[in-house]
């Protein structure tokens, strides 16, 4: 599963695995792919440093990358978190309290801080993450919300780091190319997390044509080797997989109930909702997302206000495993995630599926693949 891009990065398989869990990212890299660690949950630079130290010790000298979040448009700028918190309307805070009370969600213990914060969506936090990351031999910096600022791209290039950005349309992809991005991740509607309105099968060839000769990664709804082969056939130089790793044994969801919900979910059990961050993000459909998407409710606030508003609520829901409200960002590929397996087992399945697809196409074309 080698492509020009995978050879450039020094990886055996053109599989790019995004995950918030260091153990998963390292396992992806060790398996011959390219692990990309999501940095959004690291609000303290020392925590990111600790986990990058761990990655260095557990990737066998193989390459890996980092994914940060820098919003293309800022709802607020130049002020601190406390000032941003003060901008949240009282009615929205009451809505959160009422929704939690309806489902009898216990309070956190006195003095217990929220374990889940969304401050990583703020640019100043992402910049502090980069101050740490560039001290490590990362090979790729990805930005989940478009092109990072020009000075960040220049800084990455000065460190010999390639820069990738996710795009949900050919228009966005062209902007990335003009900004100096090295790799475009064409993320279709099926993907988990922040995503646009165009399906992967339509989006990938549009972006490949729009930004040629820049390399493109296919993303969104990909969870099998056959789908990876389809992405490469559409012109991509690799596949970007995120959701698939959530039910691996190396993942650290810290909630058995959430793992069980993912394993039981079908491909129709997700929804694009602003409930978590303020931007449309595909996630498990729950009574929490239903409440925020209800037209009679107050509606979600813009990023980063929504994330700050619901941070404690999400922590309480997760801690007490309140099943009707318990969810996570995940793509439509969740319908294939019906058993827990190690990352290596997932990789073995992906490579075998890719080989099956190639053999099938060769038979259709009347060719026999060389052994």
Task: State pLDDT tens for residues 195-229.
Answer: 999 999 999 999 999 999 999 999 999 999 999 99
User: What angle in degrees, to the nearest 10, is found between the helix axes of 200-211 and 170-179?
Assistant: 40
Assess whether pLDDT exceeds 70 at residue 338: yes
Assess whether pLDDT exceeds 70 at residue 117: no
Assess whether pLDDT exceeds 60 at residue 116: no
With 0-12 / 13-18 / 19 or more C-beta atoms within 10 angstroms meaning exposed / middle / buried, residue 175 is middle
Assess whether pLDDT exceeds 80 at residue 91: yes
Task: State pLDDT tens for residues 18-40.
Answer: 999 999 999 999 999 999 999 98
Question: What is the percent of the chain where pLDDT is above 70?
Answer: 93
Assign 77 a pLDDT band (cuts: 50, 70, 90).
low
Specify the length of the chain in residues: 371
From 47-51, 102-106, 267-271, 301-305, the region with the lowest mean pLDDT: 301-305
Q: Residue 29: what pLDDT?
A: 98
Assign 110 a pLDDT band (cuts: 50, 70, 90).
confident
The whole-number average pLDDT for the span 268-277 is: 96
Assess whether pLDDT exceeds 70 at residue 66: yes
For 163, list phi and psi in degrees, rounded to 5.
-120, 130
Q: Give the contacts of 265 (CB within 8 A, at least 6 positions apart).
A: 284, 330, 334, 335, 337
Ordered domains of the chain (ranges, CATH): 4-74+122-250+341-365 (3.20.20.70), 81-112+255-325 (no CATH)
Q: How many CB atoms lie within 10 A of CB 208?
A: 23
Range with the largest mean pLDDT of 98-102, 141-145, 255-259: 98-102
The whole-number average pLDDT for the span 270-274 is: 97
Task: State pLDDT tens for residues 287-324.
Answer: 999 999 999 999 999 988 898 899 899 999 999 999 99
Instruction: Please give the Cα distance from 90 to 204 (Å, whole number).
Output: 43
Instruction: Please give the Cα distance from 12 to 10 (Å, whole number).
Output: 7
The whole-number average pLDDT for the span 155-179 is: 97
Assess whether pLDDT exceeds 70 at residue 74: no
Using CA atoms of 305, 306, 307, 309 in order, give the dihedral in degrees to the nearest 10: 90
- The closest of 279, 360, 349, 317 to 31, measured between CA atoms, is 349
Q: Which residue has the tokens 């790019």?
A: 16
Q: Give the contacts of 356 (CB within 8 A, at least 6 positions apart).
A: 225, 226
Structure tokens at 338: 């019906």
Q: Residue 369: what pLDDT?
A: 56
Q: Residue 144: what pLDDT?
A: 83
Provide the 8-state DSSP code for 333.
Answer: G
Between 110 and 278, name the one with better pLDDT.
278
Instruction: Please give the Cα distance from 33 to 124 (Å, whole number).
Output: 30
Assess whether pLDDT exceeds 70 at residue 337: yes
Q: Residue 12: what pLDDT?
A: 96
Q: Cβ distance 309 to 150 under 8 Å?
A: no
Provide the 8-state DSSP code for 38.
Answer: E
Q: Cβ distance 184 to 216 under 8 Å?
A: yes
Assign 113 a pLDDT band (cuts: 50, 70, 90).
low
Assign 157 a pLDDT band (cuts: 50, 70, 90).
very high
Q: Which residue has the tokens 């560039």?
A: 134
Q: Cβ distance 192 to 242 under 8 Å?
A: yes
Please state the separation of Cα 152 from the chain's center in Å. Answer: 20
Q: Cβ distance 37 to 66 under 8 Å?
A: yes
- The closest of 69, 4, 67, 33 to 216, measured between CA atoms, is 4
Task: State pLDDT tens for residues 229-243.
Answer: 999 999 999 999 999
Q: Residue 146: what pLDDT?
A: 83
Q: Residue 124: what pLDDT?
A: 78
């Amino acid at each position: 599963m080698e492509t020009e891009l995978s050879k450039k990065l020094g990886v055996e398989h053109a599989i790019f695995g995004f995950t918030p869990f260091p153990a998963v990212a390292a396992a992806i890299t060790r398996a011959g792919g390219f692990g990309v660690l999501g940095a959004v949950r690291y609000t303290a630079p020392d925590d990111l440093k600790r986990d990058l130290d761990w990655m260095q010790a557990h990737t066998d000298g193989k390459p890996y990358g980092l994914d940060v979040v820098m919003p293309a448009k800022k709802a607020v700028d130049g002020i601190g978190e406390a000032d941003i918190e003060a901008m949240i309307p009282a009615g929205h805070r009451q809505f959160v309290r009422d929704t939690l009370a309806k489902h009898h969600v216990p309070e956190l213990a006195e003095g217990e801080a929220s374990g889940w914060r969304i401050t990583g969506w703020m640019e100043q936090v992402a910049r502090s993450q980069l101050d740490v990351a560039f001290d490590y031999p990362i090979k790729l910096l990805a930005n989940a919300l478009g092109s990072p600022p020009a000075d960040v791209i220049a800084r990455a290039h000065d460190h010999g780091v390639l820069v990738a950005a996710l795009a949900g349309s050919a228009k966005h992809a062209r902007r990335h190319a003009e900004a100096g991005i090295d790799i475009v991740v064409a993320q279709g509607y099926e993907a988990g997390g922040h995503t646009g309105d165009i399906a992967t099968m339509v989006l990938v060839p549009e972006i490949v044509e729009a930004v040629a000769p820049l390399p493109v990664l296919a993303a969104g709804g990909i969870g099998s080797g056959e789908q990876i082969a389809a992405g490469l056939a559409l012109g991509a130089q690799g596949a970007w997989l995120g959701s698939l790793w959530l039910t691996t044994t190396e993942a650290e969801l810290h909630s058995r109930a959430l793992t069980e919900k993912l394993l039981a979910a079908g491909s129709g059990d997700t929804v694009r909702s602003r409930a978590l961050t303020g931007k449309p993000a595909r996630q498990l459909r729950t009574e929490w997302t239903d409440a925020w998407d209800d037209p009679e409710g107050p509606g979600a606030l813009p990023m980063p206000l929504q994330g700050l508003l619901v941070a404690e609520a999400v922590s309480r829901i997760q801690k007490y495993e309140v099943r009707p409200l318990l969810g996570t960002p995940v793509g439509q590929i969740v319908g294939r995630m019906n058993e827990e397996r190690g990352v290596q087992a997932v990789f073995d399945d992906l490579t075998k599926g890719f080989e099956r697809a190639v053999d099938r196409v060769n038979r259709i074309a009347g060719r026999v693949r060389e052994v």
